[in-house]
Amino acid sequence: MSSEEQEEQEERVEPEEPEEQQEAVPGKVARNPATEFATFCAAERERRSNADPDFDAEVFDEAVQLIVHKLQALNAEGF
């Protein structure tokens, strides 16, 4: 995969920045489920596209965006 293709892929699955930032707690690393999921999906998308000739990247990306959007909403609500 070329660097241009990889950058394009990352742009498709990166979550939007949350409107409100969580307060930083000293000694605690902030977790953002949407970001973690998007990172996982980027690797999974590449693995599947290499392993399955019938893999539909467009459908995969659409599904990822729906889930990332939901995770962002839940994160903003404090879940």
> For residue range 37-77, what is the model confidence (pLDDT) as tens digits?
999 999 999 999 999 999 999 999 999 999 999 999 998 88
Structure tokens at 14: 């990166």
pLDDT for the residue numbered 60: 97
- Tell me 19's DSSP state: S
> For residue range 11-22, what is the model confidence (pLDDT) as tens digits?
555 545 444 445
pLDDT for the residue numbered 32: 86
